[in-house]
Amino acid sequence: MRRMLTLAMVMAATTLAIAAGPEDAIKEAGAGWRQGAIKQDKALLQKYLADDLVYTHGGGQTQTKAEYIASVLSGPSHYQAMEPSDTRVRLYGKTAVLWGLVDVTPGKGETYRTRTLEVYTQNASGLWQMSQKESVRVPMK
C-alpha cells in the first residue's frame, strides 16, 4: 500500500512539473500585468513589464514602461476586466511571442475585442516580462 501511495505521489509530482513549463510562466506574466492594469497596482506592472517596454495601442500611440504605468495609475481605473482567449505561445530561447484575443471591458463604455501580439523576454532572475505589445480592435463574435 505504501509503495502504491509513493508511486502515485511521484506520478502526480511529475505531471505538475511537466504542466508548469515556460508557456505557463509566460501566460502568468500576461495575466500579471493585466491584473496590474485593472487594479492599478504599480508593483505588478513594475514586475511584469520589462524596462525597455514598447507598448503600442490600437490607435498607434506608443508608450514606454514609465509612460504606460503613469497613464494606468492616473484617475479612476481604465479597465474593469481583460479576458484573454485563443492564446498561443511560441518560444525562441529566452524570448517568446504570445498572441490571441482579449475582450476588454473598460471603466466606461462597452466591451471590445482586440487581437494582441506580445513579446516576452526572460530576465536574469528567470522572470518573464513583456517587452513589446501591439494590439488592434477586431469585431466581437
CATH number at residue 101: 3.10.450.50
Predicted confidence (pLDDT) per residue in 50-85, tens digit: 999 999 998 899 999 999 999 999 988 999 999 999
> How far is the C-alpha of 141 from the C-alpha of 82, rounded, in Å?
16
In a domain, 91, yes or no: yes
Residues 117 and 73 sit within 8 Å (Cβ to Cβ): no
pLDDT over 80 at 90, yes or no = yes
In a domain, 81, yes or no: yes
pLDDT over 80 at 30, yes or no = yes
In a domain, 5, yes or no: no
In a domain, 39, yes or no: yes
Range of the domain at 93: 22-138
Domain count, the chain: 1
In a domain, 117, yes or no: yes
Burial 53-74 (b: 16+ CB within 10 A, else e): bbbeeeeeeebebeebbeebee
Question: How high does pLDDT run on average in the chain?
Answer: 89
Predicted confidence (pLDDT) per residue in 93-109, tens digit: 999 999 999 999 998 99
In a domain, 32, yes or no: yes
In a domain, 14, yes or no: no
Tell the burial category of 129 from Cβ atoms under 10 Å away from its Cβ (0-12, 13-18, 19+). Answer: buried
In a domain, 16, yes or no: no
